[in-house]
């Protein structure tokens, strides 16, 4: 049919991708994607529930399943993420995207059980580890695993990134998640009071891919030019990280020599992992620059500015995510050779400060 020649997209997902959705609850997220694509012949949507459980616990589950099947989606029930790679209908399949939204094992005692209970948290961690292990075996060479989850405590203690690394997966990106991006998706609790929504709060979609192509200096990702990080040879590989740090250090060294006495060096950068590992503040200290302020960065503040990738697909933008503008000033000799002060005037936003949060203030530093 001619319709198959036209790609349709929603957020991170394309009708050309082969997609597996797990832990689907009432299947409303799958319906959201299927409606955006028109047809869902490349989609598999799964749930741990049986048909009877779906009918009992979710008011819209069966109508959603019927719509998915009508659009060509393959719906599979009673699929356990701990063993899904061996499921008879999935064992020979490979996927470009595997999606798990808000993984949750249910509550130990009641819907009001404490999420911070250490036993509860341990069950969550076991769920996530089992899913990631199985999903890593089901990816295509350019496939990604997407896990959307809350980032506040105690959910931050579920160690999603660490578990992914433990099964040979590599974090390539993380983006803020918003329900507004997915019309028709109704997030559900999935335990005890299954059909009720829950406040998603601050959430992130973590994107992982398989690690392969190791070399003595790092590794590269087997990817195509369509990815948001295409052309990169391993964002957090030791070699790539060293290259980024060397760039930043050289910039600081040159920029410091070009400052006036009251001048500032501003560096705007992502603050999430792996970019947080570049140690910008520490590199600035090494060349005699001192952090005087850090402010959140927003594209809305700079109309006309279009951030560009600058590598591979140079003229394309990239999602900035969580960013900060780091502001540095020079360190100057004090009258005493054992300490320093900032050569600044009272007009700056940090005037008069002699060390807002610099770790080096605990000991003297001289140029």
pLDDT tens digits along 283-304? 898 889 989 999 999 888 998 8
Comparing CA positions, the residue from 87, 94, 82 lying closest to residue 129 is: 82
Contact criterion met (CB below 8 Å) for 70 and 124: no
pLDDT score for 119: 60
Architecture of domain 2-210: 3-Layer(aba) Sandwich (3.40)
Q: In the predicted model, what is the mean pLDDT of residues 116-124?
A: 61
Question: 22 Cβ partners below 8 Å, 6+ apart?
Answer: 46, 47, 79, 81, 84, 98, 99, 100, 131, 135
Q: Tally Cβ neighbours within 10 Å of residue 360.
A: 15
Residue entry with tokens 């570049």: 278
Mean pLDDT of the chain, nearest integer: 76
pLDDT score for 150: 76
Beta strands in 263-321 (DSSP E): 265-270, 289-296
pLDDT score for 224: 31
Output the six-digit token pair for 138: 């089901």
Task: Dump pLDDT digits (tens) for 10-38.
Answer: 988 999 999 999 989 899 999 999 999 99
pLDDT at 113 over 90: no
Q: In the predicted model, what is the mean pLDDT of residues 212-233?
A: 34
Q: Give, in order, the Cα–Cα distances in Å from 298 to each of 114, 272, 273.
A: 35, 15, 18
pLDDT score for 35: 96
Alpha-carbon span 271 to 325, nearest angstrom: 10
Residues pairing with 95 in the sheet? 139
Question: 109 Cβ partners below 8 Å, 6+ apart?
Answer: none
> Which of helix, strand or coil describes residue 106?
coil
Alpha-carbon span 28 to 121, nearest angstrom: 26
pLDDT score for 328: 94
pLDDT at 151 over 90: no
Half-sphere exposure of residue 199: CA atoms within 13 angstroms, side-chain side? 3
pLDDT tier at 218 (50, 70, 90 boundaries)?
very low
pLDDT score for 359: 39
Task: Dump pLDDT digits (tens) for 243-295.
Answer: 678 788 889 988 998 999 889 999 998 888 778 878 899 889 888 998 999 99
Four-residue CA torsion sign, 130, 48, 83, 29: negative
Q: How many helices (H) and strands (E) does the chain have?
A: 7, 15
Contact criterion met (CB below 8 Å) for 328 and 289: yes
Four-residue CA torsion sign, 279, 280, 284, 287: positive
Cis upstream peptide for 128 (omega within 30°) = no
CA 197: distance to chain centroid? 23
Alpha-carbon span 345 to 148, nearest angstrom: 46
Alpha-carbon span 127 to 111, nearest angstrom: 18
Residues pairing with 325 in the sheet? 268, 295
> What residue spans define the domains of the chain?
2-210, 238-362
Q: In the predicted model, what is the mean pLDDT of residues 348-353?
A: 38
Per-position DSSP letters for 112-129, written without gaps between them? T--TT-HHHHHHHHHHHH
Residues pairing with 328 in the sheet? 265, 291
Q: In the predicted model, what is the mean pLDDT of residues 195-216?
A: 67
**Among the ranges given (123-132, 163-172, 212-221), the one the predictor scored with the smallest mean pLDDT:** 212-221
> Which of helix, strand or coil describes residue 38?
coil
Q: In the predicted model, what is the mean pLDDT of residues 205-227?
A: 49
């Amino acid at each position: 049919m001619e319709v198959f020649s036209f790609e349709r997209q929603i957020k991170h997902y394309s009708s050309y991708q082969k997609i597996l959705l797990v832990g689907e609850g009432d299947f409303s997220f799958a319906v959201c994607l299927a409606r955006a694509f028109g047809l869902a012949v490349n989609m598999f949507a799964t749930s741990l529930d049986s048909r009877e459980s779906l009918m009992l616990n979710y008011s819209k589950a069966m109508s959603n399943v019927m719509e998915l099947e009508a659009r060509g989606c393959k719906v599979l029930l009673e699929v356990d993420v701990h063993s899904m790679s061996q499921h008879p209908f999935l064992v020979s399949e490979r996927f470009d995207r595997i999606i798990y939204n808000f993984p949750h094992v249910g509550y130990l005692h009641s819907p009001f059980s404490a999420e911070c209970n250490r036993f509860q948290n341990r069950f969550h961690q076991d769920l996530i580890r089992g899913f990631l292990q199985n999903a890593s075996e089901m990816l295509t060479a350019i496939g990604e695993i997407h896990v959307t989850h809350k980032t506040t405590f105690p959910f931050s203690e579920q160690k999603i990134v660490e578990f992914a690394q433990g099964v040979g997966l590599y974090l390539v990106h993380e983006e803020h998640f918003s329900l507004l991006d997915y019309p028709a998706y109704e997030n559900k609790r999935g335990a005890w009071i299954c059909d009720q929504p829950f406040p998603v709060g601050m959430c992130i979609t973590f994107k992982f891919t398989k690690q392969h192509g190791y070399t003595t200096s790092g590794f590269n990702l087997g990817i195509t030019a369509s990815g948001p990080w295409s052309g990169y040879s391993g964002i957090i590989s030791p070699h790539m990280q060293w290259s980024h740090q060397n760039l930043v250090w050289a910039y600081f060294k040159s920029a410091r020599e070009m400052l006036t006495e009251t001048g500032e060096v501003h560096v705007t950068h992502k603050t999430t992992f792996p970019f947080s590992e570049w140690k910008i503040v520490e590199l600035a200290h090494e060349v005699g620059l001192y952090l005087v302020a850090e402010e959140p960065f927003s594209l809305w503040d700079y109309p006309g500015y279009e951030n560009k990738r600058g590598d591979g697909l140079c003229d394309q933008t990239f999602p900035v995510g969580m960013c900060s503008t780091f502001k540095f000033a020079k360190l100057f000799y004090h009258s005493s050779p054992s300490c320093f002060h900032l050569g600044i005037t009272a007009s700056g936003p940090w005037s008069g400060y002699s060390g807002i949060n610099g770790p080096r203030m605990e000991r003297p530093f001289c140029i």
